Structure 1
């Protein structure tokens, strides 16, 4: 569904995402971790930028998202905010900064909001982190939920396989989604769950549902920027569509640069002072 130019230029807010769901306009969301990339994505018209804890993988080279710290997340968030004008910027609360201690959760969220100037935080989990979410919401900080495959719990799951295939887990996911809406989350990410279940959740709750590996029946989609641009070639799940092959483009450019330096073709007299 197309919107007019004025609407496209308008700052995206949590309220605007709800409006987009109500009128059937799909929400576009990508991860970003630095100023230059955020500026490109924002100017291209992305609706939401997620400063994801996936920075642990694609920026720091860790196997899981668990090692990244709150300080590192704030650093990435600050960089993204400086490159963003229109998109809503959401920041992942990293592993260990909110689970099991609602006071610590609030302190972590406040640090992100005050130090990075981001506009919302994202948290993985349902009823088990209810107290932490409620405390953060009471401070006026918008929270995006995240259910299904929750990478911060990878050691509990032991696998990155599709979640909520079984009836019991699917039932809990639906209950958690309704709980997150009820306590005040402004949106919800559903990761790697059956498309039919994700569609049902999107229909049964009024807040926007963003999918990643959750089919097309939800209110929007999110991908990791490095995956969809083909920078990271070692990750090829079914849900990933690559829109570019930047790894090859970058490799070829660097090889050409090396060749020109070695041969003396760079710099030319025109490229010298």
Structure 2
């Protein structure tokens, strides 16, 4: 795993970009690893894209460990990030440590938690005990019910200054990575330039060290794709056509073939 981390650090130093997608099971993790991606994120977004929930709030630690184990088995050279779900880390540094250990035992290389200055003590506690932590700043989806909607962060001067200060404090506390979601491009670029650790962006412009997208958005499988995402294939149409062709073949008696024809 240290080799995987070394690649990320070297790429940042060399200005080379890295790519991640979310992954929730063995099959898609295996395909992503074969495609040469640099990282896989077992995101609590599985609540929305796999379970059909309206936000990420309903996922628990057991579920995250279950999906992390599947992804880790197929990850190959990909660095495996896993989300700490809401309620599993905010109570104390000890709680964050215990939940992080559960994800590491499931196969994660890095654990991700949401929050700024209020998470500094937990990041430091975990980092001092050998946990690779990714600190998630900007739009933090676990707090969507507090805000009432998903919204961009860092749009005002005060918000931008707070994000920059939080990023610096978290890196100083021992965070191995930062993730910036839905923040202005110039702000993300500035934080990336000043950060001693790799910065991952989603909806934060092209200047971060790495980019992550939800797998279902990349494959065109999502019912609604965020404005900052891009579908690199029309997967929903392809899959629907395949299933429709299968159903038609069954109804018309074209599948399965006659048993005698396969002997």
**With structure 2 as the length reference, what TM-score do the two structures score?**
0.96
* Alignment of 1:20 onto 2:5: no
Once residues 260 and 187 of structure 1 are traced to their aligned partners in structure 2, the CA distance between those partners, rounded to angstroms, is: 50
Q: Which residue of 2 aligns with 1:76?
A: 67
* Alignment of 1:89 onto 2:62: no
Structure 1 ranges of 4+ moved more than 6 A? none
Once residues 140 and 59 of structure 1 are traced to their aligned partners in structure 2, the CA distance between those partners, rounded to angstroms, is: 31
* Alignment of 1:61 onto 2:52: yes
Give the unaligned 5+ runs of structure 2.
none
Give the unaligned 5+ runs of structure 1.
1-9
Q: Which residue of 2 aligns with 1:99?
A: 90
Please say if residues 56 and 67 of structure 1, whose CA atoms lie closer than 8 Å, have aligned partners that are also in contact.
Answer: yes
Once residues 196 and 22 of structure 2 are traced to their aligned partners in structure 1, the CA distance between those partners, rounded to angstroms, is: 24
Q: Which residue of 2 aligns with 1:252?
A: 241
Please say if residues 231 and 246 of structure 1, whose CA atoms lie closer than 8 Å, have aligned partners that are also in contact.
Answer: yes
Aligned residue for 2:21, secondary structure, equals strand
Q: Which residue of 1 aligns with 2:211?
A: 221
Please say if residues 124 and 175 of structure 2, whose CA atoms lie closer than 8 Å, have aligned partners that are also in contact.
Answer: no
Aligned residue for 1:121, secondary structure, equals strand
Q: Within 5 A, what are the aligned runs for 1:233-244? A: 234-244=223-233
Aligned residue for 1:13, secondary structure, equals helix
Q: Which residue of 2 aligns with 1:7?
A: none
Change (3 A) 1:12 1:216: farther
Once residues 120 and 109 of structure 1 are traced to their aligned partners in structure 2, the CA distance between those partners, rounded to angstroms, is: 9
Count of paired positions: 262
Larger mean Cα displacement after TM superposition, 75-84 or 153-162: 153-162
**With structure 1 as the length reference, what TM-score do the two structures score?**
0.92
Q: Which residue of 2 aligns with 1:144?
A: 134
**In the TM superposition, what is the alpha-carbon distance from 1:79 to its structure 2 partner?**
0.2
**In the TM superposition, what is the alpha-carbon distance from 1:272 to its structure 2 partner?**
4.1
Residue number among 254, 257, 260 corresponding to 1:265 in the alignment: 254
Please say if residues 138 and 154 of structure 2, whose CA atoms lie closer than 8 Å, have aligned partners that are also in contact.
Answer: yes
Residue by residue over 1:235-269, the C-alpha shift from the partner in whole angstroms, topping out at 9 and shown as x without a partner, is: 23221111011111110111110100011011223
Residue by residue over 1:63-109, the C-alpha shift from the partner in whole angstroms, topping out at 9 and shown as x without a partner, is: 11010010000000000011111100011000000013221111111
